[in-house]
Amino acid sequence: MIVMKFGGSSVADAQRIRHIIDIVRSQLDQKPVLVLSAMGDTTDHLLEAGNAALERGEVSIGHIEQHHLDTIKKLKLPNEARREITALLEELRRLLSGVSLIREMTPRTKDYMVSFGERLSVRIAAACCNALGIKALACDAWDMGFVSDSNFTSAELLAQSWELIPQKIMPLLRKGVLPVVTGFIAKDPGGSITTLGRGGSDLSATMIAAACRAEEAQVWKDVDGILTADPRIVTKAKPVEAVTYEEAAELAYFGAQVLHPRAMQPCIRTGTPVRVKNSYNTAASGTRIIAALDKKSVPVRAITFRRDVTLVDIVSTRMLGQYGFLAEVFSCFARHCVSVDMVATSEVSVSLTIDAAQDISGVKKELSRIAGVDVKTGMAIVTIVGNVKRSSEILARAFKTCQLIGVPVQMVSQGASKVNISFIVNGAEAVDVVRALHLDFFSPLHERR
Ligand code: ASP
Ligand code: MG
């Protein structure tokens, strides 16, 4: 079996729904389980409708209602599907009337309210599958074994889900039925609806894949997987064939279009491969996220960067052979609520970076009493994500490249995650550095001249 997850934009309207059903049909022999998000921006619209009821006493689901009913019409779904959808919309309207009367919305009510998005989308998609001759069943996650704690709006799945999910899913597959399961939602042991946090459908999918020991969890997005660099900066950026779970997590922190690190947890536990695929370009093989890569693979997976970084250099001879100096420095940052990103130290100095949006003046004033403090704004962090076991090779090539284009490196740090090497350069030079590094690490030899 496999799990195929499609996000909101992939099920945004009738045409997109038909398209993903074509994709599912092409893999029916693999026994797929389908996991879906709410259609388009429905989750946001539900939250807006909730606010309108809470703040202005307005009950308006016109937009949500119209879009879902329109989709049913365009897909020419039978009356039975229409009745199911209308009943859910009616329940939603009653809930919002309640909110408008008592003018109160607890996190529990909020989760109940946003759950309608996924409950609507799976019913429409399953009805469409059946109309097109694929035997499918719309399933609410709580009927498929998703039990969470009661931490509404960002609930955690409970351990019992690991056993319950395969118990519910596998019999359906054996009967030749395609389960179409709501992403994002669950119920707590008391029976209240919960949500797993925004973007939580990825986690629903990886959880089913891991718990059922699927061959693969496919997460369908609107990009060709993880790219070697931002294509707006590096025109020759290309999809990465495979990355490790750790590398993918690192890339997610740097804003790559991948899974949230939390969503990878279940698959890390069982070693289940995750594949990021593009629903707009089904021919592309996408990026596989797996436990380990073979030794011969290239040392670097991707190159990213972040601008608007401030570099703080703290120099003091008092530090030599002393203890407590670093503690003093960091407690000063803590007192002023300034969060530190990268750190590098020597015997007599500490260099660190902070986000440029933070106010450093208080820290500077206080630290100046015990050390020389130099603040450089307008810097950038360039990060190379790859196999840090080969850090000597990566660093040698990276420094050589910087030297060739005449860019001084201001600070270096190797992430404890063992998958990232970051260094600081002048913000104005960052794009050049990323392009030159990409050329060196990813282009065939004849293109490098
Ligand atoms: N529909 C939810 C959201 O928009 C969950 C998801 O899409 O993953 O956050
Ligand atoms: Mg969404």
pLDDT tens digit sequence for 385-418:
988 888 889 999 999 999 999 999 999 988 655 7
Whether residue 161 has its Cβ less than 6 Å from ligand 1 = no
Whether residue 40 has its Cβ less than 6 Å from ligand 1 = no
Closest residue by CA, ligand 1 atom 6: 199
Whether residue 185 has its Cβ less than 6 Å from ligand 1 = no
Tokens at residue 422, please?
């970051």
- Tokens 């989760």, residue located: 111
Residue 102: CB atoms within 10 A of its CB come to: 11
Sign of CA dihedral 81, 82, 85, 87: negative
Q: Specify the pLDDT at position 114.
A: 98
- Tokens 């919305």, residue located: 105
The pLDDT-based confidence of 317 (bands split at 50, 70, 90) is: confident
Q: Specify the pLDDT at position 448.
A: 61
Distance CA 232, CA 59 (A): 42
**Is it the case that residue 140 has pLDDT exceeding 80?**
yes
Higher-confidence position of 181 and 253: 181
Q: Which of 157, 169, 155 is nearest to 212 (CA)?
A: 169
The pair phi, psi for residue 292, each rounded to 5°, is: -145, 150
The pLDDT-based confidence of 273 (bands split at 50, 70, 90) is: very high
- CB distance 300 to 394 below 8 Å: yes
Query: How far lies 431's CA from each of 252, 261, 304, in Å?
Result: 20, 27, 10
Closest residue by CA, ligand 1 atom 5: 199
Burial of residue 376 (CB within 10 Å: 0-12, 13-18, 19+) is: middle
Q: Specify the pLDDT at position 413.
A: 85
**Is it the case that residue 322 has pLDDT exceeding 80?**
no
Tokens at residue 206, please?
């990886």
Residue 116 C-alpha to ligand 2 middle, in angstroms?
12
Distance CA 366, CA 376 (A): 17
The pLDDT-based confidence of 449 (bands split at 50, 70, 90) is: low
Q: Which of 373, 433, 438 is nearest to 407 (CA)?
A: 433
Q: Specify the pLDDT at position 257.
A: 64
Distance CA 95, CA 142 (A): 20
Query: How far lies 8's CA from each of 115, 221, 387, in Å?
Result: 14, 9, 33
Atom of ligand 1 nearest to the CA of 199: 8
Please give the single-letter amino acid code of residue 273: P
The pLDDT-based confidence of 203 (bands split at 50, 70, 90) is: very high
As a residue count, the chain comes to 449
- CB distance 278 to 225 below 8 Å: yes
Please give the single-letter amino acid code of residue 443: S
**Is it the case that residue 297 has pLDDT exceeding 90?**
no
Q: Which of 182, 198, 203 to mutate to test the pocket of ligand 1 (most atoms within 8 A of CB)?
A: 198
Residue 271 C-alpha to ligand 1 middle, in angstroms?
25
- CB distance 250 to 259 below 8 Å: no
Q: Specify the pLDDT at position 246.
A: 87
Distance CA 278, CA 86 (A): 32
Nearest ligand to the CA atom of 183 = 1
- CB distance 287 to 251 below 8 Å: no
Distance CA 79, CA 69 (A): 11
Would residue 255 be called left, alpha or beta, if left means φ above 0 and alpha means ψ between -120 and 50 degrees? left
Percentage above 90 pLDDT, the chain: 79
pLDDT tens digits for 62-115? 999 999 999 999 999 999 999 999 999 999 999 999 999 999 999 999 999 999
Residue 118 C-alpha to ligand 2 middle, in angstroms?
9
pLDDT tens digits for 22-45? 999 999 999 999 999 999 999 999
Whether residue 37 has its Cβ less than 6 Å from ligand 1 = yes
